[in-house]
Amino acid sequence: MKSGFQLQWEINELQAGSIIREFLKEEEISRVALTDIKFNGGKILVNDMEVNVRYMLKEGEVLTVIFPRENPSEGAAGEKIPLDILFEDQYLLVVNKPAGMSTIPSREHPTGSLANALVGYYEEIGLSATSHIVTRLDRDTSGIVLIAKHRHVHHLLSKQQKNGNIKRTYEALAEGNFALEKGTIEKPIGRKLDSIIEREVRSDGQYACTHYCVLKRHKEFTHVELQLKTGRTHQIRVHMSFIGHPLLGDDLYGGTLSLIARQALHCKIIQFPHPFTGQNMIFTADLPLDMSELIKADF
């Protein structure tokens, strides 16, 4: 049976005397979430008895918050698409997305997206939730994607992302021979005026910062590792093109298609503190064959 997401706490001596509203505020449950709980089928229980947010907690009591059941997004129908799951618990998923899969449906690609696959997977395991994708990747970028299983978990992970606590490491194959072994690109990025897709470095854009490090120099390209301080749309692709080293296969930003048919970009590592346990979570996804074979061939 599908059930709503819930959280539970056993009240200790320090927490005793707190009003539930204030206690839940400390646990980062928003007023919007509390309103949703009150009017859309959620519950707040103390020792399995329903109470309101003005209840004063006592030591040893068990507080349970049951969130309203979520419904899958109308924009993403469930599809039976295999997922490469690196990690899963009751709160989140970490998956390895292949190149060629959109993160969410679009007009050009209304089916076959990661969101469609997630809804289909949730239907299979009996989870009532929509797809809460925290870290998105472009359709032709491969690698790790972090997903929340509930809107409250999404809220917590989005705050982590905003605070720079979710760190992603990418690997890319970029054209040319880099003059430096490592460097930082701090150039603002904005939408190109004559395009709804393409971005560019522009003075009125949003601040963007990319760190890069050369891993190995090849005859026709350089294998680089990249870390983002910010997460602007197409950030790595735009910054690499700006410094004269577009990614192999990235014809939108000046890359050649002679060696690979998609931008040679892969999110290899993600690291973040678990939003509930605080444990340091680190996951790695090996380079896909199209990129690893180019490296082995040593073009």
Under 8 Å between Cβ of 76 and 131: yes
- Whole-angstrom CA distances from 200 to 108, 175, 194, 240 are 22, 18, 11, 11
- Whole-angstrom CA distances from 39 to 34, 44, 47, 69, 173 are 9, 12, 21, 12, 51
Q: Phi and psi for 158 in degrees, rounded to 5? A: -65, -35
DSSP state at residue 276: T
Under 8 Å between Cβ of 8 and 63: yes
DSSP state at residue 253: G
Residue 138 falls in the annotated catalytic set: yes
Catalytic pick among 36, 84, 89, 138: 138
Q: Phi and psi for 96 in degrees, rounded to 5? A: -105, 105
Which residues are known catalytic residues? 138
